[in-house]
């Protein structure tokens, strides 16, 4: 993948181009998914849904307090969640199986667990912000599922009423037991109170007499005692202790103290009796209140049991559905179209994302950083064999490929920009990219402009130029460099006017040393004098050093890249190796391009028009 830092920003047209490039992937996903969903939608048996709407009130109708009788202290949410669980409980479902004899129904009888199958087709759907609940039941038979939905609601209401009635009976029974027990305690407490009043000879409530008699008398005696003590103090200043008046007052004081002690003791006894009386009286009153309350509740609960009231009722019974809920053919196909398109486009973008090959002129300029000289369209529609591709400009001068090479020739002339442009080296990163065919057709294109062109096969290890022209390989470049023949003897004419060929010659044991020799430079100097243009077909530069050696002694180097096959990293290494050789890189030529793509046509047409204007 391309490093994120090198990624170019894509616009809308780029996205369209990616989709168009991988259009068959998009179409395949789209057709496959839509076809599968359409087949499934029309093949599968339709499923219907019957819906019964019930109302579940939080409380029972107010015959009496449900919370007090049944002890319901649940919060609303917990209460309703409990009811939803009851609606899907196995106990309730078994009731409807028994009522409708569903155990013999083929839809359930073949299942290992018919109850679970039934529950899986039952949906409890509370209506938001209300106390309404939708009971949905799905199935293949509209009439049957309608009956099931309505019967389920009826049995649920009946079960709830029975539970409440049973609770009422249990409550009455419990209340009667409590009444008997409380009544016995009331009688015992009343007997204890009467017995105590008889024992203490109490005829009225001790609290009433205490207010009138026992409270004021001790206070009066205390004041009298205080008065006598003051009087004794005054008399003692004038008389002695045996004086008649002193004796009288002392006698009165003793009498008052005696009465005060007696009254105080009486008050203590009275308070004790009052406290015990109050305890016994309170016990009687408490038991009487409990007894009366239980009797009242027993009567109310008995009334509730007879009424059989419930807080659940059917609002809308289920009606026989006239259309299935699934499959929804229209929605399924629309969704399949969207999903198929999204998956296809996503796959196209993913393939494009992981594809880091050189694919278009923008890749050359943005990622490789070299000028784009042009592209050679794919020849699969215009040529069948390798020999036909090599000579396609000669054999089909009006073809699209021939026009592409003419455009490339113009780009090369602009690339030199006034510099020496006699010798051009054609190389690539790896074999099988088409550099030999490009060299031949570029040479033919230049020869058609009346220039004298020499094609040189410098791939001494794997030469091929001689095969394309049907000329003997021997007596070629290697033979000249070792001094076996003269240059004139090595250069051979071709059937194409103004185009000559220097074959590779005999395969030497040391091709790199020959190409690095001084005689190779001498050869170029002599050839320049005889020809207007010299095109050298060199080996792939990453495979051997031959191309790097030659790149330093020619006027310009063309890098040929097979479109969509060679990774950007490999092309970048090729560029770096040429730069290390101090080569003058004219630019990149894209080979085997799908000419049908709009982007390539647009680039070719407008770039070529611009070049013609500049000329």
The pLDDT > 90 percentage for the chain reads 49
| Domain finish residue from 316, 351, 378 | 316
Q: Given this model, what pLDDT does residue 20 score?
A: 84
Asked if the structure places residue 504 within a domain, the reply is: yes
How many distinct structural domains can be found in the chain? 2
When mean pLDDT is compared over 29-43, 230-244, 295-309, 440-454, the highest value belongs to 440-454
pLDDT exceeds cutoff 60 at 547: yes
Range of the domain at 591: 360-614
- Calpha distance 568→585 (Å, rounded): 17
Asked if the structure places residue 588 within a domain, the reply is: yes
Instruction: State the DSSP code for 160.
Output: H
Asked if the structure places residue 602 within a domain, the reply is: yes
The pLDDT tens digits of the residues spanning 343-387 come to: 999 998 888 888 888 888 888 988 899 999 999 998 877 887 888
The pLDDT tens digits of the residues spanning 238-266 come to: 777 777 777 777 787 788 777 777 877 77
pLDDT exceeds cutoff 80 at 217: no
Edge-to-edge strand ranges of the sheet holding 48-56: 122-126, 132-139, 48-56, 312-316
Asked if the structure places residue 331 within a domain, the reply is: no
CATH number at residue 424: 3.40.50.300
- What average pLDDT does this structure show over 266-284? 76
Asked if the structure places residue 598 within a domain, the reply is: yes
Binning pLDDT at 50, 70 and 90, where does residue 307 land?
Answer: low
β-strand pairing of 556-562 with 423-428: parallel
Beta-carbon contacts of residue 70 (< 8 Å; ≥ 6 apart): 164, 167, 171
Of 114 and 290, more confident? 114
Beta-carbon contacts of residue 541 (< 8 Å; ≥ 6 apart): 427, 428, 429, 547, 548, 551, 574, 577, 578
pLDDT exceeds cutoff 80 at 232: no
pLDDT exceeds cutoff 70 at 155: yes
Instruction: State the DSSP code for 417.
Output: T
| Domain finish residue from 289, 316, 343 | 316
Longest dimension (CA), the chain: 187
The pLDDT tens digits of the residues spanning 384-399 come to: 788 889 999 999 999 9
- Residue given tokens 């490999």 in the structure block: 570
The pLDDT tens digits of the residues spanning 421-461 come to: 899 999 999 999 999 999 999 999 999 999 999 999 999 99
pTM, two decimal places: 0.56
Question: In the chain, count of helices (H) and strands (E)?
Answer: 25, 12
470: left (phi over 0), alpha (psi -120 to 50) or beta: left
> Within 10 A of 407 (CB to CB), how many other CB atoms are there?
21
Helix 244-307 and helix 216-235, axial crossing angle in degrees, nearest 10: 160
Q: Given this model, what pLDDT does residue 203 score?
A: 65
Question: Half-sphere exposure of 414 toward its Cβ, with a 13 Å CA cutoff?
Answer: 19
CATH number at residue 107: 3.30.1890
| Domain finish residue from 263, 292, 316 | 316
> Within 10 A of 555 (CB to CB), how many other CB atoms are there?
18
Q: Given this model, what pLDDT does residue 609 score?
A: 47
Partners of 457 in the beta sheet?
537
The pLDDT > 70 percentage for the chain reads 87
Of 613 and 553, more confident? 553
The pLDDT tens digits of the residues spanning 462-508 come to: 999 999 999 999 999 999 999 999 999 999 999 999 999 999 999 99
- Calpha distance 48→136 (Å, rounded): 10
Asked if the structure places residue 445 within a domain, the reply is: yes
């Amino acid at each position: 993948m391309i490093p994120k830092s090198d990624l170019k920003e894509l616009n809308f047209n780029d996205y369209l181009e990616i989709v168009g490039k991988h259009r068959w992937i998009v179409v395949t996903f789209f057709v496959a998914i839509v076809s599968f969903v359409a087949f499934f939608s029309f093949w599968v048996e339709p499923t219907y849904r019957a819906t019964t709407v019930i109302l579940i009130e939080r409380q029972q109708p107010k015959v009496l307090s449900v919370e007090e009788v049944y002890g319901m202290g649940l919060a609303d949410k917990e209460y309703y969640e409990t009811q939803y669980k009851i609606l899907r409980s196995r106990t309730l479902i078994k009731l409807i199986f028994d009522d409708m004899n569903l155990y013999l129904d083929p839809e359930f009888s073949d299942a290992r667990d018919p109850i679970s199958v039934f529950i899986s087709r039952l949906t409890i759907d509370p209506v938001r912000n209300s106390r309404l609940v939708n009971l949905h039941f799905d199935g293949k038979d509209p009439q049957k599922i309608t009956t099931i939905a309505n019967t389920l609601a009826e049995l649920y209401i009946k079960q709830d009423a029975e539970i409440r009635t049973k609770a009422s009976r249990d409550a009455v029974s419990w209340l009667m037991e409590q009444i008997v027990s409380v009544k016995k305690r009331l009688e015992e407490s009343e007997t204890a109170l009467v017995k105590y009043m008889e024992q203490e000879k109490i005829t009225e409530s001790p609290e009433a007499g205490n207010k009138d008699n026992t409270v004021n008398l001790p206070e009066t005696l205390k004041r009298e005692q205080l008065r006598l003590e003051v009087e004794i103090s005054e008399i003692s200043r004038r008389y002695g202790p045996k004086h008649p008046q002193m004796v009288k007052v002392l006698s009165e004081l003793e009498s008052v103290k005696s009465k005060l002690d007696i009254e105080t003791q009486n008050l203590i006894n009275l308070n004790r009796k009052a406290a015990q009386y109050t305890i016994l009286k309170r016990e009687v009153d408490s038991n009487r209140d409990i007894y009366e309350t239980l009797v009242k509740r027993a009567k109310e609960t008995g009334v509730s049991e007879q009424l059989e009231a419930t807080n659940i009722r059917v609002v809308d019974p289920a009606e026989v559905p006239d259309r299935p809920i699934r499959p929804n053919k229209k929605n399924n196909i629309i969704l399949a179209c969207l999903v198929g398109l999204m998956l296809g486009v996503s796959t196209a973008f993913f393939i494009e994302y992981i594809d880091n090959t050189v694919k278009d002129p923008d890749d050359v300029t943005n990622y490789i950083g070299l000028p784009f000289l042009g592209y050679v369209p794919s020849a699969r529609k215009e040529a069948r064999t390798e020999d036909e591709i090599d000579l396609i400009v000669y054999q089909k001068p009006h073809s699209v490929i021939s026009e592409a090479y003419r455009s490339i020739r113009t780009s090369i002339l602009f690339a030199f920009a006034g510099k020496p442009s006699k010798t051009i080296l054609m190389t690539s990163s790896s074999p099988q990219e088409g550099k030999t065919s490009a060299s031949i057709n570029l040479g033919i294109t230049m020869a058609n402009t009346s220039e004298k062109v020499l094609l040189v096969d410098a791939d001494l290890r794997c030469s091929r130029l001689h095969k394309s022209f049907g000329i003997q390989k021997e007596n070629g470049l290697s033979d000249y460099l070792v001094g076996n023949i003269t240059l004139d003897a090595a250069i051979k004419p071709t059937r194409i006017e103004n185009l000559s060929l220097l074959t590779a010659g005999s395969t030497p044991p040391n091709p790199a040393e020959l190409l690095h020799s001084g005689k190779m430079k001498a050869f170029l100097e002599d050839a320049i004098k005889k020809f207007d243009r010299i095109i050298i077909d060199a080996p792939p530069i990453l495979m051997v050093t031959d191309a790097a050696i030659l790149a330093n002694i020619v006027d310009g180097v063309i890098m040929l890249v097979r479109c969509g096959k060679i990774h950007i990293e490999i092309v970048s290494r090729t560029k770096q190796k040429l730069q290390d050789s101090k080569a003058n890189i004219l630019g990149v030529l894209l080979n085997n391009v799908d000419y049908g793509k709009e982007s390539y046509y647009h680039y070719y047409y407008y770039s070529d028009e611009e070049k013609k204007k500049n000329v």
